Amino acid sequence: MVGLGFRRDIHNEILDLDNDAKPDFVELAPENWMRFGGYWGSIFKKIKEKYPIICHGLSLSIGSPDDIDDEFLDELNLFFAKAEPLIYSEHLSYSKCDNAHIYDLLPIPFRQDAVNHIVERIKYVQDKLERKIALENVSYYSPIGAEMTEQDFLSQILEKSDCNLLLDVNNVYVNAFNHKYDAKEFLDNIPLDRVSYIHIAGHDKVEEDLIIDTHGQDIIDPVFDLFEWTIAKIKPVPVLLERDFNMPEIEVLIGEMNRIRQIAKSVWGDNYVVK
């Protein structure tokens, strides 16, 4: 299963895709579609008719010091009843603090108390939503007051809670570059058996020693290589091509999806099906 992020700026193109060019699923952010009627409500119905949906959230803020927003979880549940997502994933980061949403992903301090805090919140959210969530390893540009490695932080959270991992291969590549560690060693030291979903994307190098995870470029070969290396170690899962900015022609995205599909087939076999 290879999917594509559903972007409004290319919604007609995505809805027109068929046969070999058709993604196996689309990913969308519930926050951008909940409580929406009218034109976008009608487009949502078309998406639902044509594609399985995976929901990738933005505002849960699992790493926040602020309380989980129960009203928001209720809204999510209402939306999930309509979207029937295969997976609900979120980011292992925080986007709300001191009672303010900031609509972007900030890095959580890699610390023991943060691990415990997050593990408790994952349980709370999963109970409320009556489903498992998959948390994504995010890219970060600076650690904040770290007392353990990113690898230990992520592993502990996965081991102490029963959530799944959305493994963003590009983010592993970006973080390994930015923080000077070995991507494969990192991957070998996290519980890869918990991966339930994969992201792959492009990025931008903004400084000599800094890459930003922009989702605004084509995927580079080393990231494809890391993807191939990684999936040999795990069971088949859905894989998403993430592209949010600097949108190319739809053919370029189809080409990238095909390449992902080819790699997946070569590793996981022809009958690469996800259950």
The reply to whether 111 sits near another protein by the rule CB under 8 A is yes
Map residues 191-230 to x or -, x wherever contact with another protein holds by CB under 8 A: ---------------x---x-x------------------
The reply to whether 180 sits near another protein by the rule CB under 8 A is no
Pair 213, 170: CB distance under 8 Å: yes
Measured from the CB of residue 188, what is the shortest distance to Fe ion in angstroms?
Answer: 21
Cα–Cα dist 181/40, whole Å: 43
Decide whether 99 or 271 has the Cβ nearer to another protein.
99
Pair 79, 33: CB distance under 8 Å: yes
Cα–Cα dist 210/230, whole Å: 23
Measured from the CB of residue 32, what is the shortest distance to another protein in angstroms?
Answer: 6
> What residues numbered 175-204 form the site for Fe ion, per CB under 5 A?
199
Cα–Cα dist 254/259, whole Å: 9
Decide whether 64 or 171 has the Cβ nearer to Fe ion.
171
199 touches, from another protein, Fe ion, none (C-beta below 5 to 8 Å by class): Fe ion
* # residues near another protein by CB under 8 A: 47
Bridge partners of 53, per DSSP, are: 26
Q: Pick from 16, 70, 74, 120: which binds another protein (CB under 8 A)?
A: 120
Long-range contact pairs involving 221-227 (C-beta distance under 8 Å, separation at least 24): 222/173, 223/169, 223/170, 223/173, 224/200, 224/259, 224/260, 224/263, 226/169, 226/172, 226/173, 226/183, 226/184, 226/187, 227/169, 227/198, 227/200, 227/260, 227/263
Nearest Cα residue to 151 out of 96, 205, 192: 192
> What residues numbered 51-110 form the site for another protein, per CB under 8 A?
58-59, 63-65, 69, 72, 75, 94, 97-104, 106-109
Measured from the CB of residue 138, what is the shortest distance to Fe ion in angstroms?
Answer: 8
Q: Which amino acid is at 63?
A: G
Q: Pick from 27, 31, 150, 168: which binds another protein (CB under 8 A)?
A: 31
Measured from the CB of residue 244, what is the shortest distance to Fe ion in angstroms?
Answer: 10
Measured from the CB of residue 50, what is the shortest distance to another protein in angstroms?
Answer: 19
The reply to whether 15 sits near another protein by the rule CB under 8 A is no
Nearest Cα residue to 110 out of 69, 142, 135, 133: 142
Decide whether 155 or 171 has the Cβ nearer to Fe ion.
171
Pair 66, 98: CB distance under 8 Å: yes
Decide whether 199 or 261 has the Cβ nearer to Fe ion.
199
Binding residues for another protein, rule: CB under 8 A, are: 31-32, 34-42, 58-59, 63-65, 69, 72, 75, 94, 97-104, 106-109, 111, 113-114, 116-117, 120, 141-146, 206, 210, 212
